[in-house]
Chains A and B, each alone.
Chain A
Amino acid sequence: MTPFNINKIRSEFPILSEKAYGKPLVYFDNAASSQKPKVVIDALVDYYSTTNANVHRGVHFLSQKASTAFDAVREKVKTFINASSEREIIFVRGTTEAINLVASTYGRKNIGQGDEILISAMEHHSNIVPWQMLCEEKGAVLKVIPMNEKGELLMDQLPALLTDRTKFVSVVHISNSLGTKNPVKEIIRQAHAKGIPVLVDGAQSTAHEVIDVQDLDADFFTFSGHKILAPTGIGCLYGKLHLLEAMPPYQGGGEMISSVSFEKTTYNEVPFKFEAGTPNIADVIALGTAIDYWKQLDRKAAGAWEKELLNYATKLISEIPTVTLIGIAAEKASVVSFVIEGVNAMDAGMFLDTKGIAVRTGYHCTEPVMHFFKIPGTIRASFMFYNTKEEIDALAENLTKAIALLQTHSVA
């Protein structure tokens, strides 16, 4: 007996009944991008069929209809992550743009020579490179909270890393390559005790946890729509209002201005100050539909099901001889990353692909994590609430076959 109606849920996602090379598709690349329920796909078609017009400018019927639908989503996102005001929600392309926005505005304004920015050892490249670019520009220093062999942050080292020079902390909530759930609330508490603002990269966590930015007391929180059942090309930056108001604008253009003359331009209010140009109207509206989907989903049951999938997969995969799990933190999301002795990860991934099973192989945009474990990459299976144990059985069975075919030497 499954804790919730998995068959009904699967039927809501058209792609899950697709075939890959004539075989049932097994989609285990959810950490890279989630699949979309039909309601979200329909929202896009419906928008272009019945509503399409530019927002906030036209006096005509369609523009007003589009503007109303568009504006309603900001309120939905506010509730979804429990922000205190919809003005704290900025639409961006995704987490990468959100972090770049904060680095280029808050960072440029507040971080100077010799200042320190603190990240963690398990950041995605998108939460490393924007800060490195800023450090290079300002002569600031990037510091890293280290981790242990299980893939857990060494929290006992945090107090010493939060120095008088630390001006910003940017840390991932759930690691995409290890699955580790980081104690961000505690990190924020310690940083705030020293007056340091914290950005939480929620690219992975938003799909697996109910997010409450006020409870976390995060100063900034980012997520990508495409990882939470919404289309690609849309994401959100949450920022505390007083911080957003004090930040300079990001890009210049229409929508972000209040008035323009050749002598002087005054900027629009938050959040519009950060949203230059015509926004991604269709995807914002479909993001709203995705949030509606999350609202009607029994998230507690979905979370419990993902936990069950994680435990099941962890057991099955770790029992396969010559497999080593990478990332065995006590607190984990539904991600299983592993290496196989004598088998190249890409070769195994391609083998699984021939069987219709989609996994990801390689660095997962976390090259420093791979250097830490001294491995050339992992095979990663990441699960969503719409996956099944039968799919995990297929993965384990075919992994055994892949090993039989590919292992370059006999391993005792």
Chain B
Amino acid sequence: MSTLLEIEKEILSDFELFDTWEEKYHYIIELGQKLGPLEDKYKIEEYKIKGCQSSVWLNGEERDGKLFFSADSDSTFVKGEIALLMMVLSGQTAEDVLEAKLEFIDALGLRQHIAVTRANGLASMIKQMKTYAFAMSSANK
């Protein structure tokens, strides 16, 4: 398993191929379309991160000392964003997830497009992922 920073670097080098917002948009939509399904039992209020323009359902669970996420959204673009976060954070230890600075997000050059949809909720998704990590790390102490 690559470290979190290594994966971030890989994503960034993928993104370097894209010059335009249009190319980045298509890439993220593709990631969203490929994101694995979320079991229906998690598509309930308890797992929901509500936004103004889209909803996200997120579950995190521990397997072999690592934290794994699964998620869904009614927006394919938001699913693509989750997929990016999951590439980096899913399969890492709770401690690594908690400490992740996720500086690659700024380097993607997406902020201007996603910041405007304030309820797009990238920040809420990260917070929720870290909450799972915190719960897992607290339970193991």
Contact = CB atoms under 8 A, between A and B. Distances in A.
* Same assembly: yes
Interface of A: 21-22, 344-347, 350-351, 353-355, 361-363, 376-377, 405-406, 408
B22 A377 contact: no
A346 B53 contact: yes
B76 A344 contact: yes
B75 interface: yes
B74 interface: yes
A405 B53 contact: no
B74 A406 contact: no
A21 B20 CA distance: 8
B53 A361 contact: yes
Contact of A347 (B20, B21, B52, B76): B76
Contacts of A344: 54, 74-77
Nearest to A377: B53
B29 A354 contact: no
4 closest A-B pairs by beta carbon, nearest first, are: A354-B22, A344-B75, A346-B53, A362-B53
Interface residues of B, number: 17
B21 A354 contact: yes
Nearest to A405: B29
A350 B25 contact: yes
Contacts of A351: 25
Contacts of B120: 346
Interface in B22-75: 22, 25-26, 29, 52-54, 74-75
14 contacts: A21-B22, A344-B76, A346-B75, A346-B78, A347-B75, A350-B25, A350-B77, A350-B113, A354-B20, A354-B21, A354-B25, A405-B26, A406-B29, A406-B76
Nearest to B120: A346
B54 A21 contact: no
A264 B107 CA distance: 60
Contact of A346 (B22, B26, B117): B117
B24 to A, nearest CB: 9
A351 B76 CA distance: 11
A345 B51 CA distance: 13
Contacts of B21: 21, 353-354
Given A354-B25, A406-B29, A408-B76, A346 B54 contact: yes
Nearest to A376: B74
A305 to B, nearest CB: 30
- Scoring B21, B75, B120 by chain A CB atoms within 10 A of each residue's CB, the highest score goes to B75
